[in-house]
Structure 1
Amino acid sequence: MNKLHTLVAVAGIAAASGMAYWWQNKGSTHATAEAAAPATAAAATPAGAVAVEVARAESRAVQDDASAVGSLRSRQGVMLRPEVAGRIVKLGFADGQPVRKGQLLVQLDDQLQAAELRQAEAQVGIAVANHQRNKDLVAQNFVAQRVLDESAAALEVAQAQAALSRTRLGRMKITAPFDGIVGIRNVSLGDYVKDGADLVGLEDISSVFVDFRLPERFLTRVQPQQRAEVALDALPGKAMQAVIEAVDPQLDANGRSLLVRARLDNPSRLLRPGMFARVRVVFAQRANAVMVPEEALVPQGSKQFLIKVVPGPKGPMSQRIEVAAGARRDGKVEVQGSAIAAGDTVVTAGQARLMRGDPQPLRLIELGKVSGPVAASSPA
C-alpha cells in the first residue's frame, strides 16, 4: 500500500513538472513574436523620424476684401420748416405719399402779406406815372433835372418795397424742393406754428447711400468707383452691389477710421434710410490662390515659415520655407509666391523639432486617415 502511494505521488510530481515546462516555453515563444513586431515596424520607418501631422495645400478663388457695418441714408433728405410764424390753412400732401418738386405741401395764412403786396404794387404804379410825367416835363424844360432824378429814386424804392412784400408772401407757402416721399406730419390743419418748427420730413430714396467706416490701413486701397457688396438684415439672403461715391478726406481721430460712402440703386423703393447694412469692399480677386491650414504657419519674429514635405532617399523629409501670408478664409490662409503649389503636403502639427532648417526624416500622419505613407511633394 505504501508503494502504491509512492508511485502516485511520483507520477503527480512528474506531470506537474511537465506542465510547468510546457507553459514556460509557450510564454517565451509568444514574447518573442511580440518583440519581433516592433522590430519589423521600426525597420519600415527611418531611424530618428519625427512624427508629424500633415495636410494638402489646395487651390481656390480668393477675394482680397474688407468688411464693415454701416447705415443707409437717403440720396436727399430734409425736414421742412417754416421761415416765418403763421397758422396752417392748407395741407397739400398725404402722409407717406410721393410728391413732385414744386408741389405745395403747407400753406400758411397769407392774407396780411397779400394785402401788403397789393399796397406795394399800387405804390409802384403811382411812382411809374410820376416818373413818366417828369420825363415829359423835363423834355419841355418845365421842371429841372433834379425833379426827374428824385422821381426815378422814388420809383426804385417802390419797386423794392413790392419785391419785399412779394418775398414775404412767398414764404407763406412751403413747397417740395425735390421729388421724394413725405413722412408722417407733425402738425395738423389750423395749427399755429413758429418759425423753425418741424412740419414734415421729405426723403428722396430713388437711390440710397450706405455710409460705413474702414480702418485707416485701407486708406490707400479704397477708391471712388470701386465695387462693394451690401447685405441687409431686413432683406436676408439678398446681396446688392454698390459703387463707392466718396471717401472722407479726414479720419476720425478717436477710432482712426475712414468714412466711406457708397451708392445703391433703389428702383423698387424697398431700401429705407436708417437700415443696418453689412458691407464688403473687394480690392482684388485671385482665381487660383494656394491655401493651407492656418496651423501650418509658424511665426518667427516678423517672418512666417512652414514645413513642406519633400521626397528623400529613405522616405519623406522636411523642408523649411519662408512664406508670405495673404487672405484668411475658413481656417485657411493664402500662401503667396511660388514656393508652395496646390497638392503639396505641409506639416500642420509637430513643427517644433523641424524649425532648425536642416532636412529631417518624417513619419507622416494625415488627419482623417489611417497612419501610413503619404506622398511627399517635390522640392521647391
Structure 2
Amino acid sequence: MKRWIAIGLVVLVLGGIIVYNKVLHPAPGSSPGGGGGGDKKGAPGKEGGAGKGPTPAVNAYVVRAQDIKENVITSGSLLAAEQVDIYPEISARITQLTIQEGQPVAKGQLLVKLFDADLRAQLQKLQAQADNARRTEERNKQLLARGGISQQEYDIVTTNLRSSLADIDLVKANLQRTEIRAPFSGIIGLRNVSSGALVSPNTLIARLQQVSSLKLDFSIPEKYGPSVRTGSLISFQVDGSNTTNQGTVYAIEPGVEEQTRNLRIRARVANSSSRFRPGTFARVTLTVQTDNALVVPTQAVIPQTRTNQVVVIKNGKAQFKDVTTGLRTAGSIQVLSGLTAGDTVATTGLLFLKPDAPVKVGKTITLPGAGPKVATK
C-alpha cells in the first residue's frame, strides 16, 4: 500500500512540473495549446502557435531645464548686535552709581564712579615732585653748558624727571579706571550692585546690549554652502508670533564645523521698534535656488536600494538608467546626473516595463506651472 502511495506522489509531482513548464510558463514562441508554430508575422496558427502582444503605450515627459528652489529650514538664535558685561578694572568702593535699569545709555556716558581720593592725592604729590625735577633739570642744564657738572650728573637729573612724568601718567591711568563709561550706545540691563558696595574685577555690575539691530546666527548643511552668499535674504519666525520677518546674510564662517559638518551663517535683522529680544529662538528659512536645473516628474523616478532609476524611451525601447537626484518639490525632482535635456522618460506603467522592451508614447505630459518650483526640506 505504501508503495502505491509513493508512486502516486511521484506521478503528481512530475505532472505538476510538466503543466507548469508547458501551460503556465511556456517557452518564448510557443503556446500552451499545442506545438504548432505561428506564421511569419507572429500570429497564432491553427495549431496553437503564439504571437507578440500589443506594444504598451505610456505617458512620457521630455526632460528640460528650469529654475528650482529649496527652502532649507533650520533653527537659530537672535543675538545683540553688540554686548558687553561690565566689570570694574580695580578693587574699590562705589561712590556714584548712575545706572537706570532697562534704560538706554549713550556712548561715553558715566555708569559707575569708584573711590579715587587716594589716587588724586598721589597725583598731586607726583606733580609737585615733577615740577621740582623740571626746575632742577633746567639749572643743571645751565651748569652743564658752563662746565659746572659732568654729563653723567646731568643725565641722572633728566632720568629723574622722566621717571616722575611716567609716574604721573600711571596714576592718571588708574584714575580713569575709577570711572566706568558705556563703550557704545545701548540698553543697560539689571544691575547686580548698589552704591557703596566694595567691588573687585570679578564683580559683574551689569550687562549692556545694543538692540537697535540684532544678529541672527544659524547653521546649514555644508552641501548648501555654495548657494549662500553675502546679501542673501532669509526669513524667520519667533515663538508667540506668526509673522514672517526678514533678515540679510552679512557674514559666513570660512570653515565648516568638523563635528556637525554644518556651516555657520550670520544675518542682520532690523529691530528699531525693539520687537525682538536677544537670546530668542528663531525658526529660519533660507531659500536656495538652482538655475537651469534638469527636472523630471516625481512619478518618473523608481527608488532602488542604493540608487534611483528612470525609464528612458529611446528608439521605441525602454532603457533603465541610474540617476543622481537633488532638490525635490511636490511634483518634480532635480536630476544631477544620468540624463540630458531632451531625453524622454516614462511616467506611467513603470512596473510593467522591462529593459529593451518595445514601448510607445501615448501622451506627453508637462509639469504644472511655469515658474520656479519651491521645495521644502
Q: What aligned pairs does 1:40-79 form with structure 2 within 5 A after superposition?
A: 62-64=68-70, 66-79=72-85
Alignment check: 8 A CA contact 1:323 1:339 kept: no
Q: CA deviation at 1:246?
A: 2.4
- In the alignment, residue 263 of structure 1 is paired with which amino acid? R
- In the alignment, residue 364 of structure 2 is paired with which amino acid? S
Match of 1:181 among 184, 187, 197: 187
Q: CA deviation at 1:212?
A: 1.6
Q: Structure 1, residues 203-249: CA drift from partner, whole Å, max 9, x if none? A: 12333222222223334x15541403131224422230312412142
Alignment check: 8 A CA contact 2:319 2:355 kept: no
CA distance in 2, matches of 1:153, 1:51: 105
CA distance in 2, matches of 1:290, 1:124: 84
Q: Secondary structure at the match of 1:201?
A: strand
CA distance in 2, matches of 1:119, 1:222: 66
Match of 2:119 among 113, 117, 120: 113
Is the aligned partner of 1:298 residue 2:305? no
Alignment check: 8 A CA contact 2:186 2:210 kept: yes
Is the aligned partner of 1:122 residue 2:128? yes
CA distance in 1, matches of 2:119, 2:310: 84
Q: Secondary structure at the match of 2:160?
A: helix
Is the aligned partner of 1:277 residue 2:282? yes
Q: How does the TM-score come out when normalised to structure 2? A: 0.69
Alignment check: 8 A CA contact 1:56 1:292 kept: no
Alignment check: 8 A CA contact 1:80 1:198 kept: yes
Q: What aligned pairs does 1:341-380 form with structure 2 within 5 A after superposition?
A: 346-347=347-348, 351-360=350-359, 376-377=363-364
Q: State the 4+ residue runs in structure 1 displaced beyond 4 angstroms.
A: 46-61, 285-291, 300-303, 307-310, 317-324
Alignment check: 8 A CA contact 2:318 2:355 kept: no
- In the alignment, residue 178 of structure 2 is paired with which amino acid? M
Q: CA deviation at 1:320?
A: 5.7
Aligned residues: 310
- In the alignment, residue 184 of structure 1 is paired with which amino acid? L
CA distance in 2, matches of 1:333, 1:104: 61
Q: Structure 1, residues 336-361: CA drift from partner, whole Å, max 9, x if none? A: 753479xx9722xx523214242347
CA distance in 2, matches of 1:49, 1:286: 38
Q: What aligned pairs does 1:248-287 form with structure 2 within 5 A after superposition?
A: 248-249=254-255, 251-286=256-291
Q: How does the TM-score come out when normalised to structure 1? A: 0.69
- In the alignment, residue 241 of structure 1 is paired with which amino acid? G
Greater Rg over alpha carbons, structure? 1
> Which residue number in structure 2 is paired with residue 43 of structure 1?
none
Match of 2:249 among 243, 250, 253: 243
Q: Hey, which of these two has a bigger chunk of helix by percent?
A: 1
CA distance in 1, matches of 2:176, 2:244: 46
CA distance in 2, matches of 1:340, 1:77: 57
Q: CA deviation at 1:308?
A: 7.5
Alignment check: 8 A CA contact 1:58 1:290 kept: yes
Match of 1:132 among 120, 133, 138: 138
CA distance in 2, matches of 1:110, 1:170: 10
CA distance in 1, matches of 2:356, 2:104: 72
- Specify whether residues 138 and 164 from structure 1 end up closer, same or farther in structure 2 by C-alpha distance, changes over 3 A only: same
Q: CA deviation at 1:59?
A: 10
Give unpaired runs (5+ residues) of structure 2.
1-51, 366-377
Q: Structure 1, residues 273-294: CA drift from partner, whole Å, max 9, x if none? A: 212122333342549975623x
